[in-house]
Amino acid sequence: MNKKISITAFSSISPLGNNAEEIWEKYLDNQHCFSKQFLDQQQTSVAALDVESKQIVAEVRESDIKYKFLDDSVLFALTASRKAVEKAGWNKEDVFGINIGSSRGATDLFEKHYKEYIDTGKAQTLASPTTTLGNISSWIAHDLQSVGPEISHSITCSTALHALLNGVAWLRSGMADKFLVGGSEAPLTDFTIAQMRALKIYSRVDQEEESWPNLAFDFEKTQNTMILGEGAAVCCLEAGEKENAIAYITGVGYATEILEHNISISAEADCFQKSMKMALKDTNSEEIDAIVMHAPGTIKGDLTELRAIEKVFGAKTPLLTTNKWKIGHTFGASGILSLELALLMLQHNTFVNVPFAEVQKQSKPLKKILINAVGFGGNAVSILIEKA
């Protein structure tokens, strides 16, 4: 059986916009997408959707009266899914599965409903059905009128790549021929950011004084600099090699850290070492041209992943990059947005450096790229993609 999985379409909505060419141009522009919002009684750096993208989401909300009360996490996913399915040429006659995950789910809506309950002692009728985890994939299935399996799940910050893993498993098993996979997150709320501050991992760097408030990929930083972003991304997967493939998935890996505490990850990220080795099972490590790191902008998170890469690749480390310095950490959607960067680099045969890091020179065409993601608890995923 051909183990290759074709990625036949990809779509996203994020602080970079929702048009692939515009997103690529913004990656070549060494500016971050952070803005200041008044959250938790003070100005806070976040990576929010731009005005045009917010308008697109508003139009999706208005496209069906039933969408009026849905959380942004659902609407982001609906927006990306509609476009991806159109690009792939799928229609209502096609049987395809859906697996869209989210770390936090209906974050904003849940917090609003809970506040109303605290204030009034009453909950709204739609409070439960619009905040359940299955909400995202169920509404996408409704919107696309699909007839295949629909799955939602949450595995913290590696959620979207776990969705991809699941889609690959269905396709390789022969239980499905097509799968729509991805992740969505709308975490820019007071309480969510307060939780990150309580962990002492949220950035306190003043972006008016510093060019780079999120120092993801700076391995010598002396403070944590994670900043949250919002967005969603999905890709259409099909079994085998398809003529319209934009890239192939040729390796997948996963592993879970042995926990010492709730956010545990070892000094050399054993989970990443295992997941990368599994993804590289049938591939010589010297063939990997680049790695899109998870690198959330925390001291330990960035450095332990680097140590894991050095352990797996030795002296011949591939080119390394990340996108969180630019769009922040989108929690459950972050892995699939990292996949987007990898796809764009393959498409344009251009490696994207992190502007405040030492420049890495591309010496050969980009053909194989590894993407990493990990969440609280050390739930690591590594995906190997290859140029079509």
CA 298 – CA 202 distance, rounded (Å): 8
Is the model's pLDDT at 207 over the cut of 90? Answer: no
Instruction: Show the tokens assigned to 160.
Output: 């979207």
pLDDT average, residue stretch 331-341: 98
Which pLDDT score is estimated for 260? 60
* 8 A C-beta contact, residue 157 and residue 335: yes
pLDDT band at 264 (very low <50, low <70, confident <90, very high): low
**With pLDDT > 70 as the criterion, what percentage of the chain qualifies?**
96
Q: Tell me the CB-side half-sphere exposure of residue 377, using CA atoms within 13 A.
A: 11
Which pLDDT score is estimated for 37? 86
Which pLDDT score is estimated for 133? 83
Out of 76-90, 241-255, 344-358, 368-382, least confident range: 368-382
pLDDT tens for each residue of 270-296: 999 999 999 999 899 999 999 999 999
Q: What is the pTM of this model?
A: 0.96
Which has more pLDDT, 209 or 96?
96
Is the model's pLDDT at 261 over the cut of 60? Answer: no
Burial category of 224 from C-beta neighbours within 10 Å (exposed 0-12, middle 13-18, buried 19 and up): buried
pLDDT tens for each residue of 294-329: 999 999 999 999 999 999 999 899 999 999 999 999
pLDDT band at 1 (very low <50, low <70, confident <90, very high): very low
Phi-psi region of 371 (alpha: psi -120 to 50; beta: other; left: phi over 0): beta
Eight-class DSSP state of 376:
T
pLDDT average, residue stretch 53-75: 96
Instruction: Show the tokens assigned to 62.
Output: 């208005």
pLDDT band at 265 (very low <50, low <70, confident <90, very high): low
pLDDT average, residue stretch 155-181: 97
Structural domains of the chain ordered from first start = 5-239 (3.40.47.10), 250-387 (3.40.47.10)
pLDDT tens for each residue of 18-52: 999 999 999 999 999 999 988 766 789 999 999 99
Burial category of 318 from C-beta neighbours within 10 Å (exposed 0-12, middle 13-18, buried 19 and up): buried
Closest listed residue to residue 161, CA positions, set 188, 182, 186: 182
Instruction: Show the tokens assigned to 330.
Output: 């989108």
Instruction: Give the long-range contacts of residues 31-36, CB within 8 A, separation 24 or more.
Output: 31/326, 32/207, 32/212, 32/213, 32/214, 32/325, 32/326, 32/327, 33/229, 33/326, 33/327, 33/328, 34/207, 34/213, 34/214, 34/227, 34/328, 36/207
CB atoms within 10 A of CB 209: 7
CA 12 – CA 23 distance, rounded (Å): 10
The mean pLDDT value of the chain amounts to 94
